[in-house]
Amino acid sequence: MQMLLTINASKPSLPRDRTNERGAALVTVLLTSVLLLGAGGALLMSTSLSASNASDASAETQAYYAAEAGMQATLAVLRGNFAPNPLFDTSSSTAAANKISFRKAVTPSSSNSSTDTSAAAHLSRWLNYNVVTPAGAGVGLTSPYASVSGMAFDTMIEDPDSTANATYSTLGAFGSDTASTSSISYQFKTGGDKVTVTYVPQSSTAISTSGTTLGTFSIGQLVGTPDIAGDPKSTFTITVRQVSVAGTIDVPIKCTIAQSGR
């Protein structure tokens, strides 16, 4: 009986020298930690920005609705749907003096209440300014009002053309004559049938809501029965001239001089 025994006579390999690999695990852990921290920071930033955007969107929406409410309330006042407080005419809330006009709306003395000392027109005589906002007095839309989360608005009426300081005057012209700012006269017919008409223009004056005049006509002594209607000068033009910061505007008004009874 034979037994065969195979013996590996090769030289066993020695373990590698890993002295120069010391600290590799620490570096790997640090790199992984940096990546995880970066990803976590990005997630936190994204969450923070989302919350901030949601907060901004909510604030913008509130501001939009507050501005819309203020605009609608102002339009309602300008349309005459509310009476002033206090009334201009205490005899009746529907009295003509209590009706709003654009001149009343834009003039601080009539637009604002007696307790409103602002130099700007805020319609505080019609709108209830009942809260104090970071920007000043306002009309509260939430109750109770809080400056951080509350909603309010304020209104300011402006006249960009400064028509409150505008002036007007008139010019006159017989027939096709050149318009004149001075007193002008014309004699219709001659001999036994004649009459002289004189026009005195309105000098420059401030525009008033109480009424305006367009100059004055005067008639000299009437002799006989002059045929005024047949005279080309019987067509008279009054030119109304308005002067404001926006410039000068001339508006011609044509009329006819006629003798009564003819």
Q: Which residues pair with 217 in a beta bridge?
A: 199
Tokens of 130: 């009942």
Q: What is the pLDDT of residues 60-119, one digit of tens each?
A: 888 888 899 999 999 999 999 999 999 999 998 889 889 998 889 998 999 999 888 888
Q: Are 257 and 228 in contact (CB under 8 A)?
A: yes
Half-sphere exposure of 194 (CA within 13 A, CB side): 7
Q: What is the pLDDT of residues 199-244, one digit of tens each?
A: 999 999 988 766 778 999 999 988 888 888 888 999 999 999 999 8
Q: What is the pLDDT of residues 114-137, one digit of tens each?
A: 888 888 999 999 999 999 998 889
Tokens of 191: 């001999």
Residue with tokens 């002799």: 223
The pLDDT, as a whole number, for residue 230 is: 81
Q: So where are the chain's domains?
A: 49-158, 163-256
Mean pLDDT of 249-257: 93
Minimal CA–CA distance to 235: which of 204, 201, 197, 261? Answer: 197
The pLDDT, as a whole number, for residue 176 is: 92
DSSP tag of 158: -
